[in-house]
Structure 1
């Protein structure tokens, strides 16, 4: 690890805390890392490092992004992902070979259990698999950590039930489950009295902002990318202090540095970042000028083949929609969001396309009701070719939920059946209630800040 890298130093803090708080406690079975949302990437880096041959901790870490749908299917989903990773990744095997370890583990019993599952929970099977895998490790490494970082969690309360059930069944000695929660939103805590000495919650104070700022400012100050990063941090500090004069000073510097570079993608990026911060000062006359000029630069760069410019152009359309919404020009805002959705769709930026459709549909529902179902239908058709994972992690689930009510009222049976089949496969028979619950608990989508009209 490069000890002079500020991010590496933050990773080292996590390693040291783990070594002090977790490694000596052989009885621990569940570790909860309490983190701030903005620290998530650092912890992902920690898991990647410890899951590689370059890990510093004495345990073998295996990380899974398996989505949590419900407590009855989660163990089976982990087993499935584990077996796929075992078949497709040679990283762990390579690590063991470098240590001249004879590693033999029979995956066949777990393939068979998965094949004959028939909807039954596989909690016991998962625990056996983890124990067998741990025992197959070399003697000096017979400690296993399964780190769970789900792409999506449908219900934290149900995940807590799953964790409790695993503890009741008995997580094998030498195996630990690692889960993550956000500071101030700890819903996976289990009462210590039920499982004394088996659980530990830890929070590592990180200085992420300072680390990123040091990293951003390191390197050649004449490099336009480094100069832009420095400007963005200074602008962020000015915004936090509500110092508009200083924000403009560093915003103009960002434009000057990037214009001199001749890189249209970088120049357009400076415009959109500067404009995004000015949404907090929504009446500032520079805001619409930055959006218009930045969009024009991104369009030129896209036409000239700069790959960074097309995604920026899509963002500019969304920002124009948000600015029109801010000025209560709702019809114009809807047009911008639709334009954003169609351009993103045309170039297979599916998440951005669904964001645009959702913004347009929601604005129609509240302000242009006559267009609502027309926009909903176009959004429905736009998402027909999405893969299951793209559907479950995008705003398309809300669009489908709302469109379902429309086709149900109109008795359009083929679309009712199609949506029922698709969403039932992803969220179960009670998919409508589940999507409604997710919509209530998930943070609302905001384009730039302060876009909601008073």
Structure 2
């Protein structure tokens, strides 16, 4: 890790806090890191680092993103994911061997495990296989949590049943909205809360301004940061000033991918000012630049072109031009699918289908079917982590109404394998509680 990187320094602060409060205290069983939502990526970076061969803490970290569906099935889901990861990932085994010479562990006794007790026995067995009596930290970062109260109940149950010696659980909780806090008197000496104050804003500003100030990428990062600050202050005039600066510096670079990126970032910021006349101009010009880049062989421009289609659809939807929006999303889906951008394709098919369902019912089932077919090649892991579960849920109802027995059985088998017999209820719950879909381009893709 680059020690001079301001984000890396924040991770170092977390590591120091861990050493001070956690390491060398075997009685601790549940560690709760209390964070601000905007700090989540820093903490995810921390656990990702410590779960790799490059971690510096004395414990062995194993991170799982297993969805939390309910407290009765979570242990079984964790066991399943743990064993699949262990059996299928040679990279993981190599990392473990690199960090722990002579490490061997037999997963076979836990192949049929489903209960809380089975999970605890598996963790104890794995920890005993670690040399030098290293502590094991199971990091729980569920991609989705159906009910935080149920997950808290699950944690309480696991603590009551007895987390094995040498094993700890780690969860993230949100400052001022803590869901997993427990009374120390219920579990004396077993709980620890860590909160590491950090000035993420200053670190991002410092990171954005680091490097050669004449480098167009560095200059654009600064412009994007300042646009974000202007947006936070609802200062559209300042946003336009920095947006134009981003266009100017990237145009001079001659890099079409960078120039197109400046357009889409600038337009995306302006989406918060829906009637701003610059939005359609930026989208049209950025899309044209991306097409030129694709024709000239600039590989960065193809995913940007796909994203521009999505932005065009989102803008048309904002302007209540629903037929136009649907057509843009379909174009995005078809292009993404053509170039094997599977997740972008599925997101676009779902957006098109949902818009058809509400505004153009005559096209709904045709679009829904295309989305269903687009996701058939996905692996189980890709299905469970994507929006495809909603397409499957909706297409299942359509197939049922048309008595498409083979399709019904196929979806039932797949989703039952992933979510259990009550998969339809579970998916409905996940969809009800899910966060709104983001715009087609995330800041992290910059």
User: TM-score normalised to the size of structure 2?
Assistant: 0.90
Cα deviation 1:344-368 (Å, max 9, x = unaligned): 1111111111111111111111111
**Corresponding position of 1:5:** 5
Pairing 1:48-127 to 2, within 5 Å after superposition: 48-52=48-52, 54-69=54-69, 70-81=73-84, 83-84=86-87, 88=91, 89-97=93-101, 103=102, 105=104, 107-108=105-106, 110-114=107-111, 117=112, 120-127=113-120
Q: 1:417 aligns with which of 409, 416, 421?
A: 409
Return the offset for 1:193.
3.7
Q: 1:400 aligns with which of 386, 392, 395?
A: 392
Runs of 5+ unmatched residues, structure 2: 442-446
**Further displaced range: 349-358 or 126-135:** 126-135
**Corresponding position of 1:308:** 300
**Corresponding position of 1:330:** 322
**Corresponding position of 2:423:** 431
Return the offset for 1:187.
3.1
Distance in 1, Cα, partners of 2:426 & 2:254: 50
Task: Give the direction of change, closer, same or farther, for the CA distance of 1:322–1:407 in structure 2 (3 Å limit).
Answer: same
Return the offset for 1:312.
0.7
Task: Give the direction of change, closer, same or farther, for the CA distance of 1:130–1:296 in structure 2 (3 Å limit).
Answer: same
Pairing 1:252-401 to 2, within 5 Å after superposition: 252-401=244-393
Distance in 2, Cα, partners of 1:293 & 1:305: 18
- 2:160 alignment partner, SS class: helix
Return the offset for 1:438.
0.5
- How many corresponding residue pairs? 437
**Further displaced range: 193-202 or 204-213:** 193-202
User: TM-score normalised to the size of structure 1?
Assistant: 0.89
Distance in 2, Cα, partners of 1:37 & 1:306: 36
Cα deviation 1:90-129 (Å, max 9, x = unaligned): 22322344xxxxx454x23x31331xx1xx5253344334
Q: 1:237 aligns with which of 216, 219, 229?
A: 229
Task: Give the direction of change, closer, same or farther, for the CA distance of 1:312–1:167 in structure 2 (3 Å limit).
Answer: same
Cα deviation 1:397-424 (Å, max 9, x = unaligned): 1122222222222323222222222222
Contact 1:76–1:122 under 8 Å retained in 2: no
**Corresponding position of 1:134:** 127
Return the offset for 1:205.
2.0
Cα deviation 1:75-103 (Å, max 9, x = unaligned): 42254046337854322322344xxxxx4
**Corresponding position of 2:33:** 33
Return the offset for 1:26.
3.2
Task: Give the direction of change, closer, same or farther, for the CA distance of 1:379–1:64 in structure 2 (3 Å limit).
Answer: closer
Runs of 5+ unmatched residues, structure 1: 98-102, 450-454
Q: 1:247 aligns with which of 239, 264, 287?
A: 239
Contact 1:79–1:126 under 8 Å retained in 2: no
Contact 2:75–2:119 under 8 Å retained in 1: no
